[in-house]
Amino acid sequence: MVSRRPRNGITHVGLLNESTYRLSSAGAGWLHVRVILGFLAAGNSDGEFPMAASRSVTANFVNNADVALIRDSGSLSHGIWTFQPPARIEVGATVSWESESSGVATGTEGEVTYKIETGPGQTAGSAHFHWDNPFVGSNSYDEATPVGYKADRAGGDGDNATVDWTFDCSSATCDGIPDDWKINGVTIDPGEE
């Protein structure tokens, strides 16, 4: 270990290994620093070096529909789960999930599909949500819902993005009949026989 006189607020510099240094400023305790591929990373007092993900997506999801959602599948093409989508999203619930990059110069991409629970043990259709936050290029998102439901999306920009999805009925009364038909009526032409 090398010890030097106080200079610029640093009182000690100690070599721990080829790329890890321990710094101490007067009365502030030890700060561990590691040089990784020419980049400087600061560690905690235990010498641990948590690395922040270069890309992440946090999904905030609101279920405003009149049905619960049951996770059918969820997977990542790239990255790791920070926390996974919940197995069930109740009516009126707000939930979140997150994925992040894992590795050098990588992004995160994933998808989750929820079955729409119409009654105990009964489902009708599914809702699908996809996100992609690449290391290079623009973020992209898409969603698909069956007739009678919709998903609105907001946000999702940046390296560590937050996207907000709101799942809802496509009509005000959640009966699957378009509101326009209720207000303006509808004409049904039975055709010629």
pLDDT of residue 90: 97
Neighbour count for residue 41 (Cβ, 10 Å): 16
pTM of this structure:
0.69
pLDDT of residue 1: 42
pLDDT of residue 174: 82
Residues 6+ apart with CB under 8 A from 52: none
The alpha-carbon radius of gyration of the chain (Å, integer) is 26
Please compute, for residue 150, the number of CA atoms within 13 A of its CA located in the half-sphere on the CB side: 10
Give whole-number Cα distances, 125 to 75, 96, 109, 149, in Å.
Answer: 19, 22, 24, 10
Q: How many residues does the chain have?
A: 193
Q: pLDDT in tens for each of the 193 residues of the chain?
A: 444 344 444 333 444 443 444 444 445 454 444 444 434 444 455 555 556 789 999 999 999 999 999 999 999 999 999 999 999 999 999 999 999 999 889 999 999 999 999 888 899 899 999 999 999 999 999 999 999 999 999 999 999 999 999 999 988 888 777 778 878 888 888 887 6
Q: Per residue in 72-117, pLDDT tens?
A: 999 999 999 999 999 999 999 999 999 999 988 999 999 999 999 9
Q: Which domains does the chain have, with CATH numbers?
A: 1-49 (no CATH), 56-169 (2.60.270.50)
Helical spans, DSSP H, in 21-178:
none
* Cβ burial, residue 84 (10 Å; 0-12/13-18/19+): middle
Residues 6+ apart with CB under 8 A from 105: 54, 135
pLDDT of residue 41: 43
